[in-house]
């Protein structure tokens, strides 16, 4: 049975995951930074991106996402393992995206986070995006590459 503090932590962690999805869909990189600790590391290698420190990865996200003016990240099946001021989180995601060339694709997978409680609330110190499946992604991405 969870006590009031654990219930509060669960709500705050869910809010953090929702803020991540909102930041990605709104392409609000300042908001995205509020999901992470300043020294966070992020791994987007499963979706063709980098793995590295926060600034490097957000720069990649900010340069890549404008090719996808419409997206919707949905987060569910959240599993939280609390350990004091630390938490391990695994959450499923479903994402639909439309490219600037009007090609649409879908994908899903898991976000895993190592969270830490900070003075500003829960923040991710490490996140891994693990894509599990996609539908029409290769075709949609191919429309972004000029022939030749």
Each residue of 126-147: pLDDT tens digit? 999 999 999 999 999 999 987 6
Residue 60 above 70 pLDDT?
Answer: yes
User: Is residue 72 one of the residues assigned to a domain?
Assistant: yes
User: Is residue 124 one of the residues assigned to a domain?
Assistant: yes
pLDDT at 135: 97
Tens of pLDDT, residues 111-131: 999 999 999 999 999 999 999
pTM: 0.95
CATH code assigned at 101: 3.10.450.50
Residues 6+ apart with CB under 8 A from 140: 97, 99, 101, 103, 104, 105
Residue 33 above 90 pLDDT?
Answer: yes
User: Is residue 32 one of the residues assigned to a domain?
Assistant: yes
Average per-residue pLDDT in the chain?
Answer: 96
pLDDT at 148: 61
d(CA 131, CA 15): 22
Q: Is 8 helix (H, G, I), strand (E, B) or coil?
A: helix
User: Is residue 70 one of the residues assigned to a domain?
Assistant: yes
Alpha-carbon torsion 123, 41, 92, 66, what sign? positive
User: Is residue 126 one of the residues assigned to a domain?
Assistant: yes
Please state the rounded mean pLDDT for residues 76-98. 98
β-strand partners of 93? 75, 109
- Fill in the DSSP letter of residue 94: E
d(CA 25, CA 32): 10
Residue whose C-alpha is closest to residue 103's, from 133, 80, 135: 135
d(CA 55, CA 23): 15
Residues 6+ apart with CB under 8 A from 45: 51
pLDDT at 145: 83
User: Is residue 147 one of the residues assigned to a domain?
Assistant: no
How many structural domains comprise the chain?
1
- 96: domain range? 4-142
User: Is residue 94 one of the residues assigned to a domain?
Assistant: yes
User: Is residue 148 one of the residues assigned to a domain?
Assistant: no
């Amino acid at each position: 049975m969870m006590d009031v503090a654990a219930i509060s932590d669960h709500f705050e962690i869910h809010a953090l995951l929702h803020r991540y999805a909102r930041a990605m869909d709104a392409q609000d990189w300042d908001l995205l930074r509020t999901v992470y600790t300043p020294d966070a590391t992020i791994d987007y290698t499963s979706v063709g991106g980098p793995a590295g420190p926060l600034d490097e990865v957000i720069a990649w996200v900010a340069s890549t996402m404008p090719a996808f003016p419409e997206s919707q990240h949905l987060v569910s099946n959240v599993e939280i393992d609390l350990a004091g001021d630390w938490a391990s989180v695994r959450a499923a995601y479903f994402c639909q995206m439309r490219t600037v060339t009007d090609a649409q694709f879908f994908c899903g997978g898991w976000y895993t986070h190592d969270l830490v409680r900070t003075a500003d609330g829960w923040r991710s110190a490490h996140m891994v995006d693990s894509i599990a499946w996609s539908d029409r992604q290769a075709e949609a991405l191919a429309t972004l590459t000029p022939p030749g």
